[in-house]
Amino acid sequence: MQISRFWHFNTPLLILALPLLGAHLAQTGMGVVDTLMAGRLSAVDLAAVAVGTSVFAPIMLLIFGTLLGTTPLVAQAAGARQTASLAGTVHQATWVSLVMILFGGLVMTNSQWVFDFMGVTPEVSALASGYLRALAWGLPALAFFQVLRCLCEGLNHARPVLWISLLGLLINIPANYVLIYGKLGLPQLGAVGCGYATALSFWFMALLLSLYVHLRPNYRRFAIFAAWQKPEWVQIGHIFWVGLPIGLSIFVEASLFTTIALFIGGLGEVVVAGHQVAFNFTTLLFMVPLSLGMALTVKVGHALGSGHPDEAREAAWYGVQLSALVALISAAFMWLSAPWVVRLYSENTEVQLLAAGLIQLAVLYQISDALQVNAAGALRGYKDTRIIMLITFVAYWLIGLGGGWWLALGDNPWGPQGVQGFWYGLILGLSFAAALLLWRLHSTSRQFLNPNTPQEAI
């Protein structure tokens, strides 16, 4: 590896990734705040937020991921200086988001059967269902915020999303305090209050980003809100063609954690709470490689749009190398900090011990997780998304979940390992995904170096 070339490509990548990271941390911070504040009320409320989040997270990521198909479209249009099409891209992506909102809202407002089917205790199930019904009110705002976010990030403008996400988090904290604990004369809603507070924050963020795009001079020339376009089925189909495999890939990964949370719902509140604490903390640290992967999508898309596939390939591989370096640092921090971090989430010593042990297991898959998410991010820049969906399905569901269930609850030579068995499955699945996605990135980036290769998904 040439150090000068490494930093030549990764310095602008980091400049873009850092605001993305801040925005991710702020938005993930809402889940952290929900978990911390509900956990301080009771273990039942913490468990309700845990299983409720396990349903909401994959729905949210399916919406986010599908709309992420907008980012490479914007990035390649910007690289080719074809910005006249951007308003149409935003409008058609918004029509796409309506379909996703209807699906997500239907699941979230009828979630009781999921919890009953998976054997979640009645008290936790009732609270979790109320949490999701409250949170569903914020789904339209969250989807439109994501559309505008893809526009900003595809144009290499990540800072407005960062500041607005931070303001959303600042709204979420006092709203949680008032609604969870019943302040200012309002009833104590517990976990359900988390849902209303987060929905309120989503609407606040969507309104602010809409005003920014409408009023900012460098966006005004795109005329995003000048005249709303009717559905154009060809472009909607193209956004779905690029974005739905991304959404399904992210959904498959997120639903792996969802299904694990539901499977362990019958193992008791301590196990559910310990798993949620560990998952919440590791997800927070995962935002670093995820942000690098999203920045890679933009950088690769810009290079391809401007007609430089050689630069796209170099940017992709140097970015993957950077992600491995960052993962090593993250793993060391995770290992050292686990015993004291868990105390912030819960005062229950059983929950603390279980969560700390799971966090230290997560250290083992940090590098493979970072490699797979950055390889996938680079492939999205090439609009090569469908193979990602296939690889992640096999890696996460067949190997990760199937192997994890066998180790956790099945008849295996070592005996049932409990919740730890699912985390062993995660290690296997993520390692498999990293190997295959790196191979695919090598193959795709080489094919784009050939000028006779069409610059479309292969």
Characterize 408-437 residue by residue with b for buried, 16 or more Cβ atoms within 10 angstroms of its Cβ, and e for exposed: bbeeeeeeebebbbbbbbbbbbbbbbbbbb
d(CA 22, CA 19): 5
- Highest-pLDDT range among 43-57, 110-124, 261-275, 387-401: 387-401
- Higher pLDDT pick, 211 / 256: 211
- Higher pLDDT pick, 259 / 456: 259
Characterize 320-358 residue by residue with b for buried, 16 or more Cβ atoms within 10 angstroms of its Cβ, and e for exposed: bbbbbebbeebbeebeeebeebbeebbebeebbebbbbb
- Output the CA torsion sign for 22, 25, 29, 31: positive
Over residues 130-144, the mean pLDDT reads 90
- Highest-pLDDT range among 26-30, 119-123, 286-290, 320-324: 320-324
Look at residue 257 and tell me whether its pLDDT is greater than 80: no
Over residues 7-26, the mean pLDDT reads 76
Look at residue 458 and tell me whether its pLDDT is greater than 70: no
Look at residue 64 and tell me whether its pLDDT is greater than 90: no
CB 65 within 8 A of CB 143: no
In this prediction, what percent of the chain has a pLDDT beyond 70? 93
d(CA 399, CA 393): 9
Look at residue 204 and tell me whether its pLDDT is greater than 90: yes
Over residues 142-162, the mean pLDDT reads 84
Residue 82's pLDDT is what? 65
CB 288 within 8 A of CB 330: yes
Over residues 3-15, the mean pLDDT reads 75
Q: Among 198, 203, 166, 176, which residue's Cα sits nearest to residue 26? A: 166
Residue 330's pLDDT is what? 86
Residue 1's pLDDT is what? 54
Q: Among 151, 144, 147, 204, which residue's Cα sits nearest to residue 173? A: 204
- Helix (H, G, I), strand (E, B), or coil: what is residue 64? helix
Look at residue 350 and tell me whether its pLDDT is greater than 80: yes
Q: Give the count of beta carbons closer than 10 Å to the beta carbon of residue 285.
A: 23
- Helix (H, G, I), strand (E, B), or coil: what is residue 412? coil
Residue 118's pLDDT is what? 66
Token digits of residue 17: 């990734």
Residue 207's pLDDT is what? 93
- CA distances, 295 to each of 14, 19, 51, 206, 362 (Å): 8, 10, 31, 22, 24
User: pLDDT for 388-419, tens place per residue?
Assistant: 888 988 988 888 888 888 887 777 777 767 77
**Confidence band (pLDDT; 50, 70, 90) for 220?**
confident
Which residues, 6 or more positions from 384, have their beta carbon under 8 angstroms from its beta carbon? 440, 444, 457, 458
d(CA 303, CA 316): 10
Q: Among 57, 27, 25, which residue's Cα sits nearest to residue 171? A: 27
d(CA 302, CA 3): 23
d(CA 42, CA 48): 10
HSE-up (13 A, CA, CB side) for residue 405: 13
